[in-house]
Homo-oligomer: A and B are copies of this chain.
Amino acid sequence: MPQEWSGSTPELLLALDRRSGEPLRVQLESQLRTAIRSGRLESGERLPSSRELARELGLSRGLVQEAYAQLQAEGYLVTRTGSATRVAPCAEQAAGPAREEEPAPEPPRLLADFRHGVPDLTAFPMTDWLWALREAGRRIPTAELDYGDPRGSARLRAVLAGYLRRVRAAAADPAHTVVCAGYAQGLALTLRALADAGVRTVAYEDPGAPGTARRYAALAGMEAVPVPVDSAGLDVAALERTGARAVLVTPAHQWPTGVVLAPERRTALARWAVRHDGYVVEDDYDAEFRYDREPVGALQGLAPDRVVSIGTVSKSLAPALRLAWLLCPPPLTPAVRALKALEDRGSPALDQLALAVLVESGRYDRQLRRMRARYAARRVALVEALAAHAPAVRLTGLAAGFHAVAHLPAGRDEAAVIAAARERSVGLYGMSACRSSGEPEPPQLVLGFGDTTERAVREGIAVVGDLLG
């Protein structure tokens, strides 16, 4: 309902603060906008003349006129020649006053949390990283502050390719290396490129990460089908039967079973790819942390024309850096590059250069050695604590990484164990979430110790030992 303006609605305008330092015109405009958005000034409502308002507020008339002109330019007010200034139609449909976001409720503190997939964040080498950023800032050529090659910094690609050839026995070539924003983007780019190349179905390991596989397949318009993993890794004969032309695998340390893909399976997988014009997407996710012997080289090195290898610093440094890389089969590189250009025009330049500096300086390797020792100690703590408090539990998958699989005695109810542990402030996570079927049988737990201290590992297992074994 349009209503007449009245000097008796001072709450609309009289909050001008002459000591705030903010120009009075800006304050006036801002308060008028808020009044219109909140509905206190309604659509069609007449405003006082600039002369009236100026007198009422003790402002110059010119200042009020400027504010009215600004709000008119922005579409909040309308003025027709010879007629009063009014609130524009529609202007009131704006949202209510902006509010600060409400903080999420704090999760309850746990005595020990065996969640997986996250490294020890307290060990992030912040000093080294800031040093590397500073070095990168000193060295970066001005032209690299522009949009760059969508594949990423040429310097980082050269450094990564050299590093991966040396450490992962990869057949890495900077021209076919694409820097991306974490494993997630790497997978999204890869599957979209494969979909563009006519691949309709992607297989994934079971147990594995069925949710991830299904979500990213759907994003690329593909179907996702599970393929069983046995004690030698992915069952390549079963893969063959699915008719899929792409498969997601974790050869160095299968997620979550920890099995290493057997040599004959590696060869069989490479042959499968050649025979079916297929592609293997290798998640080289925690090969850095192998305890018993040298890590097995990347599968990509064996079949670089058929394998897309995705690596990331999310496990070796921190997820928040959002830095990862793809090694692409050369025929796939143009599509991946074009998609990366569309999606975000390349990853941030300084962060990329900082990673190059960190690797070249040897500080990246030093950090890996430091973390390997730290995780090795937690691994021992886990083995010892389970032996002491839950001797019936068998532990597998401990050759690498920072998680293990605990096999509960037959008949245990996975969900009940997890719920009972939670009552005792210990976070446990079941294998059922990693199975394509969601089946809770056989009862198993995936115990992460990346972000759990050695002491928490021991205390946590002591507290829940009777539930497990």
Cβ-neighbour of A169 out of B30, B88, B90, B319 (below 8 A): B30
**Any chain B CB within 8 A of the CB of A263?**
yes
**Any chain B CB within 8 A of the CB of A404?**
no
The distance in angstroms between the C-alpha atoms of A267 and B306, with both chains bound, is 55
- 4 closest residue pairs by CB, A with B: A75-B266, A320-B349, A181-B344, A101-B174
B-side contacts of A351, CB under 8 Å? 348, 351
Q: List 24 A-B contacts (CB under 8 A).
A: A37-B304, A70-B294, A73-B263, A74-B299, A78-B264, A88-B263, A91-B267, A93-B305, A94-B304, A98-B161, A101-B157, A121-B146, A130-B133, A146-B319, A180-B344, A181-B344, A181-B345, A182-B344, A215-B342, A320-B349, A321-B348, A322-B345, A322-B346, A323-B348
Cβ-neighbour of A100 out of B118, B158, B264 (below 8 A): B158
**Any chain B CB within 8 A of the CB of A330?**
yes
- Distance in angstroms from A296 CB to nearest chain B CB is 5
**Any chain B CB within 8 A of the CB of A148?**
yes
**Any chain B CB within 8 A of the CB of A142?**
yes
Please determine whether A147 and B319 come into contact, CB atoms closer than 8 angstroms. yes
**Any chain B CB within 8 A of the CB of A59?**
no
The size bracket of the interface on A is 35 or more
The distance in angstroms between the C-alpha atoms of A188 and B306, with both chains bound, is 29
**Any chain B CB within 8 A of the CB of A372?**
no
Residues of A within 8 A of B (CB): 29-30, 33, 37, 70, 72-78, 88-91, 93-95, 98-103, 118, 121-122, 124, 126, 129-130, 133-134, 137, 142-148, 154, 157-158, 161, 165-166, 169, 171-175, 180-182, 184-185, 188, 215-216, 219, 260, 263-264, 266-267, 270-271, 274, 294, 296-297, 299, 301-306, 318-323, 330, 342-351
- Distance in angstroms from A221 CB to nearest chain B CB is 9
The distance in angstroms between the C-alpha atoms of A21 and B98, with both chains bound, is 62
Give the nearest-CB partner of A154 in chain B: B101
Please determine whether A144 and B271 come into contact, CB atoms closer than 8 angstroms. no
B-side contacts of A172, CB under 8 Å? 98
Cβ-neighbour of A263 out of B78, B129, B145, B302 (below 8 A): B78
Number of copies: 2
The distance in angstroms between the C-alpha atoms of A264 and B72, with both chains bound, is 9
The distance in angstroms between the C-alpha atoms of A94 and B280, with both chains bound, is 14
Give the nearest-CB partner of A76 in chain B: B302
The distance in angstroms between the C-alpha atoms of A184 and B177, with both chains bound, is 22
Contacts A303-B93, A320-B348, A344-B322 hold; do A121 and B145 have CB atoms under 8 A apart?
yes
- Distance in angstroms from A294 CB to nearest chain B CB is 6
Contacts A133-B133, A146-B118, A266-B74 hold; do A219 and B348 have CB atoms under 8 A apart?
no
Cβ-neighbour of A318 out of B37, B102, B145 (below 8 A): B145
Tell which of A91, A267, A296, A304 has the most Cβ of chain B within 10 Å: A267
B-side contacts of A98, CB under 8 Å? 161, 165, 171-173
Known: A94-B171, A101-B175. 15 other contacts (CB 8 A): A33-B169, A33-B297, A75-B263, A78-B263, A78-B264, A94-B304, A95-B304, A95-B305, A101-B154, A101-B173, A129-B350, A134-B134, A146-B318, A182-B345, A322-B344
B-side contacts of A303, CB under 8 Å? 90, 93-94
The distance in angstroms between the C-alpha atoms of A126 and B103, with both chains bound, is 33
Contacts A78-B263, A260-B73, A267-B88 hold; do A144 and B320 have CB atoms under 8 A apart?
yes
B-side contacts of A74, CB under 8 Å? 169, 263, 266, 296-297, 299, 301-302
Give the nearest-CB partner of A25 in chain B: B294
The distance in angstroms between the C-alpha atoms of A122 and B154, with both chains bound, is 20
Cβ-neighbour of A342 out of B77, B99, B184 (below 8 A): B184
B-side contacts of A147, CB under 8 Å? 118, 319-320
